[in-house]
Amino acid sequence: EELVAKAIAPVKREYLLPPPLNSVVKEKKSKRQLKRERIQERKTASHICPDVAKTGNPSACQYGGNCRFSHDLDAFLAQKPEDIPGDCPFCPYGIACRFSSTHKKKSSEINGLKKDVQKLLWKDQMRFPRADSELKRLGLDSRPQKKSKDSSLRLNAREKRIIDFRGKLYLAPLTTVGNLPFRRVCKGLGADITCGEMAMCTNLLQGQASEWALLRRHSSEDLFGVQICGAYPDTVARTVDLIDSECRIDFIDINMGCPIDLVVNKGAGSSLLVKPTRMKNVIQVASSTVEKPITVKVRTGFFEGRNRVDSLIADIRNWGASAVTIHGRSRQQRYSKLADWGYIYECTRKSPPTLQVLGNGDIFSYTDWNDHISECPELSSCMIARGALIKPWIFTEIKEQRHWDISSGERLNILKDFVHHGLEHWGSDSKGVETTRHFLLEWLSYTHRYIPVGLLDVVPQRLNWRPPSFYGRDELETLMASDSAADWIRISELVLGKVPTGFTFSPRHKSNAYERPENG
């Protein structure tokens, strides 16, 4: 009870380890130095030209001697790491592939950026007839547009498609770790609804391939949405118009809760919570531009102690949103302290019956899910975020109504599934292998926080508990509990082979919720 009161996980005494010594943090390199190293590395034999690798012919590249990659096949094969055991999931990489078996040619992913569309976006020549029509009607257009031939593009409210979120398990859009391979893992473990990582509207409208990659969808994602983030009605309207035309999706979610400074300082994300007029214009024009359902994700408010979603909840439906997800923290809180579910219930009960409300925050077991649904039957569902990062089998637990004391071997199989999906998504050449490894390591920076059910004196584990250092029931379980990046790399080598010489890793995301005791 004393440990729980301090937000420290009550691990059984026989499994406790002495706390590890602090590791030395290496000095970061400058952006200029990193760029110079990337350019130099690109000229080495390990970076074979894709056209040469695919055909096995040094003269196949259209750029010839001006190509920025190597054309030396012998040098490439001499330094190429040994193949990884297993089958190639999908491969256009030729000799660069790290698998020796027969290549498959068919991919199960959709929503790629077409080259002709990308060129139009680059040249600012893309037409957005529906968006421009609605912007003009609402008096929100900020730039002159060429006249559209279709003047009857406004959608009747009755034409809106409806998605029933009630009772469905919703995997939250998660930056970096919520990639397509991770979503496939969660689908296999019971998630019903998936959503792509947050994509910035301006980057999508500029045709940035890296941003468009966030919209990709796998065939197993049968109920799938994309999440976009924008500061102004015109950019959001044109983005939803473009996505609706170029992608196969079921709904579009607008992020109005992102707390990141870079996003907030541009007037997007949670900064819209203090700009209700602009918030209205964004939702209204997006909803009237496309017939796909528009959903919104918000926080309780911008400043701690000054909640305001309850005063906007009815308007959000009137503006055209089909559903709203409320994260029970303010922007100022980020991810510290516990989510305020009492306020989520209050907003839900104030919402009109036609607006589906979903709650979000700190769900880490089936009992958490049950408690929220029984406490507030008006909730359509709950969105699961960090809980799924730490233990993606939470979806199985909720559907089977049990605390799963999952073994280390079963957890390793889940990691193997991720790797298989990753190689199919990012590629099976050396670059694809290391990209898969990078995202696996990012995910492992969360999974080590999981404490096996059999090791706890109190079940279930709470999301705000800080895990002490502990032994597992076998060597692999102990390794998986380590908070050392060196041990995460060892785990990656179990499924992806040895890391390249000089390989280092530092996790991109470090949640506030585990850094300070008072955040409990």
Catalytic amino acids?
258
- As a whole number of angstroms, the distance between CA 363 and CA 366 comes to 8
| Packing angle, helices 408-426 and 485-496, rounded to 10 | 70
The amino acid present at 431, given as its one-letter code, is: K
Q: CA Rg, the chain, in Å? A: 24
- In the block, tokens 């196969």 appear at 248
Within 8 A by CB and 6+ apart from 47, the residues are 41, 69, 70
- Residues making up the chain, counted from first to last: 520
- As a whole number of angstroms, the distance between CA 118 and CA 124 comes to 10
What is the full DSSP assignment across 446-504?
HHTT---GGGBSSSSPPTTPBPPPB--SSHHHHHHT---HHHHHHHHHHHH-PPPTT--
Residue 7 and residue 465 in contact, taking contact as beta carbons nearer than 8 Å: yes
Whole-number Cα distances in Å, 271 to 306, 321, 327, 451, 490 = 14, 19, 15, 36, 41
Residue 326 and residue 358 in contact, taking contact as beta carbons nearer than 8 Å: yes
The CB density around residue 516, as the number of other CB atoms within 10 Å, is 10
State the sign of the Cα–Cα–Cα–Cα dihedral 202, 207, 210, 211: positive
Residue 236 and residue 286 in contact, taking contact as beta carbons nearer than 8 Å: yes
For the record, the structure tokens of 215 come out as 């919209």
Phi–psi pair at 70, nearest 5 degrees: -80, 145
For the record, the structure tokens of 138 come out as 């609402």
Residue 251 and residue 294 in contact, taking contact as beta carbons nearer than 8 Å: yes
Residue 44 and residue 70 in contact, taking contact as beta carbons nearer than 8 Å: yes
Residue of 371, 375, 377, 373 whose CA lies nearest to 460:
371
Which helix (H) or strand (E) segment holds residue 118: the answer is helix 115-122
For the record, the structure tokens of 28 come out as 């970061």
Pairing of strands 217-218, 109-110: antiparallel
Residue 226 and residue 202 in contact, taking contact as beta carbons nearer than 8 Å: no
Residue of 450, 433, 437 whose CA lies nearest to 488:
437
Q: Facing residues of 217 across strands? A: 110
